[in-house]
């Protein structure tokens, strides 16, 4: 009897163990499965998510796919800025530098004052209190009636309306300024190629012909941009024996001309105190300004001969998105381009004014057209795999008068 019991024990079916193991492995694969990026398998998820405003955790069954996009986004007020963010996204707190002179107060903001970041500058009259103005302050009377004293209503300091000028330069390059009711503002690129160290931020102020000149130093930190060593095969784009059709060559020439026109635009600044993350989830698959090695080869006599690979600099940010996932505008602006291009695929350029352009590449569907006004957070297209890509995603770029910066370095700034 004991022998029979032992035999039964040794032959007890093991399917429950296998079943449990399979279930565990399945859920582990779901938790840790990350899509391959064009630059390799390394992922940079929330690389700038340190401290600051954190969105609520995601709820429900949808996790950034093709449905339930609205339930994956939240509205937040962060200082003067109204934000639309993916649930779970942590917004970094910007750093600031403050300079006081007899003629003005200057406050510079940046996510990190490092190479590849965007710097936002406010210049206010002496005695101003930063952060108390709205993006569009409305009437002068409403602004000037903030507090009463024995001498009457307190007046908000103002720069003169006439016979007055402010000029700004950074790293010996002139930068345009935008007049607001409370003062002036400027958006300045800390170029990826800018040498780390102190760079002069100069301000000239006063009556035309009688300007007073000031200088301040902005310390720019080194950014260690990622370098991928694995080689990327782009198929026909890596094959140097590929010949393009007359239609493709015409599309390439037309696309280049349209891009040049967009980059040359200088329109009034439209950026207000409202920003939006361009996706309904935050998952970086290829970081800004990463270096990627692209294979190059030729086909001779049916055999592939490898050439010296080419190193490409990625001037945008790749965000995960299945084909058909929503794309939203970063900020207010006018659509400068919404068309099919050869390398970019279906692409949208939004002109935010003063030479600031955001670019959304490889879309499966364009939902806006050139000349259309869009607002921050407006649905403008759907992610896809058009153009020179290895899979569906959103390539997002932000240019400040032709200089690329990390696109999401804009949305944490307290713009007024």
Give the span between the Cα atoms of 81 and 200, in whole angstroms.
Answer: 28
**Partners of 37 in beta bridges:** 40
Given a contact cutoff of 8 angstroms between Cβ atoms, the answer to whether 192 and 404 are in contact is: yes
Backbone φ and ψ of 30, nearest 5°: -70, -40
In the chain, CATH 2.70.70.10 covers 227-409
Instruction: Could you list the beta-strand ranges (E) of 111-234.
Output: 117-124, 148-149, 152-153, 165-170, 173-175, 178-179, 184-190, 197-207, 210-220, 227-232
pLDDT, tens digit only, all 416 positions of the chain: 333 333 333 344 444 433 334 433 433 333 333 333 333 333 332 332 333 444 433 333 333 334 445 678 999 999 999 999 999 999 999 999 999 999 999 999 999 999 999 999 999 999 887 654 443 433 333 333 333 444 444 578 999 999 999 999 999 999 999 999 999 999 999 999 999 999 999 999 999 999 999 999 999 999 999 998 888 888 888 889 888 899 999 999 999 999 999 999 999 999 999 999 999 999 999 999 999 888 899 988 888 888 888 888 999 999 999 999 999 999 999 999 999 999 999 999 999 999 999 999 999 999 999 999 999 999 999 999 999 898 999 999 999 999 999 999 999 999 99
Given a contact cutoff of 8 angstroms between Cβ atoms, the answer to whether 220 and 113 are in contact is: yes
Q: Model's pTM, two decimal places?
A: 0.79
**Partners of 232 in beta bridges:** 294
**Partners of 125 in beta bridges:** none
The CATH architecture one would assign to domain 227-409 is Distorted Sandwich (2.70)
In the chain, CATH 2.60.40.10 covers 95-220
* DSSP 8-state class, residue 163: S
CATH 3.20.20.70 fits 95-220, yes or no: no
Question: Token pair 């190629």 is at which residue?
Answer: 193
């Amino acid at each position: 009897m004991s022998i029979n019991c032992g035999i039964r024990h040794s032959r007890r079916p093991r399917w429950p163990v296998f079943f449990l193991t399979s279930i565990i492995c399945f859920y582990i694969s779901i938790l840790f499965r990350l899509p391959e990026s064009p630059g390799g398998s390394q992922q940079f998820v929330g690389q700038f998510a340190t401290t600051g405003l954190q969105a609520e955790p995601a709820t429900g069954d949808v996790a950034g796919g093709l449905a339930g996009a609205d339930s994956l986004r939240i509205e937040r007020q962060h200082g003067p800025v109204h934000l639309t963010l993916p649930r779970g996204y942590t917004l970094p707190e910007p750093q600031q530098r403050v300079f006081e002179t007899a003629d003005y107060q200057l406050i510079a903001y940046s996510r990190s004052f490092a190479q590849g970041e965007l710097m936002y500058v406010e210049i206010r009259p002496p005695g101003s209190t930063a952060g108390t103005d709205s993006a569009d302050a409305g009437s002068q009377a409403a602004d000037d009636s903030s507090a009463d004293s024995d001498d009457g209503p307190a007046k908000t300091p103002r720069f003169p309306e006439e016979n007055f000028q402010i000029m700004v330069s950074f790293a010996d390059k002139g930068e345009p300024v935008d007049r607001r009711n409370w003062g002036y503002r400027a958006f300045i690129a800390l170029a990826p190629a800018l040498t780390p160290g102190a760079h002069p931020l100069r301000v000239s102020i006063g009556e035309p012909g009688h300007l007073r000149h000031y200088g301040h130093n902005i310390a720019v930190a080194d950014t260690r941009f990622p370098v991928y060593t694995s080689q990327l095969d782009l198929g026909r784009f890596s094959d140097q024996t590929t010949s393009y059709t007359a239609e493709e060559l015409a599309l390439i020439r037309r696309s280049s001309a349209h891009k040049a026109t967009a980059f040359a635009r200088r329109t009034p600044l439209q950026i207000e105190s409202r920003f939006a993350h361009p996706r309904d989830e935050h998952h970086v698959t290829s970081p800004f300004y990463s270096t990627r090695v692209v294979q190059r080869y030729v086909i001779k006599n049916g055999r592939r001969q490898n050439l010296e690979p080419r190193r490409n600099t990625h001037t945008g940010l790749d965000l995960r998105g299945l084909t058909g996932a929503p794309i939203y505008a970063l900020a207010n602006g006018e659509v400068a381009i919404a068309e099919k291009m050869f390398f970019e695929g279906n692409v949208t350029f939004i002109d935010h004014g003063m030479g600031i352009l955001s670019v959304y590449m490889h879309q499966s569907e364009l939902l806006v057209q050139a000349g259309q006004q869009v607002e921050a957070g407006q649905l403008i297209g759907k992610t896809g795999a058009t153009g020179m890509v290895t899979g569906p995603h959103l390539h997002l770029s932000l240019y400040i008068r032709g200089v690329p910066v990390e696109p999401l370095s804009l949305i944490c700034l307290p713009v007024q």
